Amino acid sequence: MKKIIISLIICIPLSYSKTALLMIDMQKGYSTHRGYHLVEGNNELVDQVIDEQFKVIDLFSTLNLPIIEVLYWGSGPAFQRIDQKLEDKNHYTIDKFSSSAFSNYNIFKKQINEIISKEEIHEVVVIGANGSVCVKNTIEGAIKKDLEVIVYNKGIIDFESRNFITPYIYQTCDIEQPECSYIQIDSFKSLENLLKIN
């Protein structure tokens, strides 16, 4: 497994024509379904992650790069703050019905594949929830699809633990690939510079 963690502002040549933002399952129902939102400090963590996600959304909007909001079908709306943020942004909202947006079991997979083809996307920045399930599986689905992947861990949260986890560090690659290659970034400034130099 090949993993790169970036904490500093560096320049890396990347071979892609366009980068898209994938925001996975930022739906209020996921944060409340186990009742863990009542645990002290958890709602503050949600706000913290959404603030980080807003920085990324604004960056992609400024650079005129595609923003793709992915929602798990039947699991309710996105957080109200996110809906309001995206109102004036040029973006796609699509459904999924599997833990990975790219899964063959996702009956809505055609939606994301059409966007990737139309926009000539070769790389994705991944943020969202839940880190240990849908985000993880979407990262691995993107790698299988031969997309380059950047994981922005401050924009990822996991609601499955009693104490919500953020930043979420993606550590395990459970796919049969010669190389499980991705970039993990823990600094918004690093992400900003990485995108602006390309």
pLDDT in tens, 41-88: 999 999 999 999 999 999 999 999 999 999 999 999 999 999 999 999
Q: Rounded to whole angstroms, how far apart are CA atoms 34 and 37?
A: 8
User: DSSP assignment, residue 79?
Assistant: P
pLDDT in tens, 108-129: 999 999 999 999 999 999 999 9
**Alpha carbon separation from 84 to 38, 87, 124 (Å, rounded):** 24, 5, 23
Predicted pLDDT at 167:
94
Residue 34 lies in a domain: yes
Task: Give the CATH number of the domain where residue 75 resides.
Answer: 3.40.50.850
User: DSSP assignment, residue 165?
Assistant: B
| Domain limits for position 139 | 27-172
Residue 72 lies in a domain: yes
- Number of domains comprising the chain: 1
Q: Rounded to whole angstroms, how far apart are CA atoms 41 and 142?
A: 32
**Mean pLDDT of all residues in 140-159:** 95
99-103, 170-174, 186-190: which range is least confident on average? 170-174
**Alpha carbon separation from 189 to 11, 55, 56, 96, 171 (Å, rounded):** 12, 10, 10, 31, 22
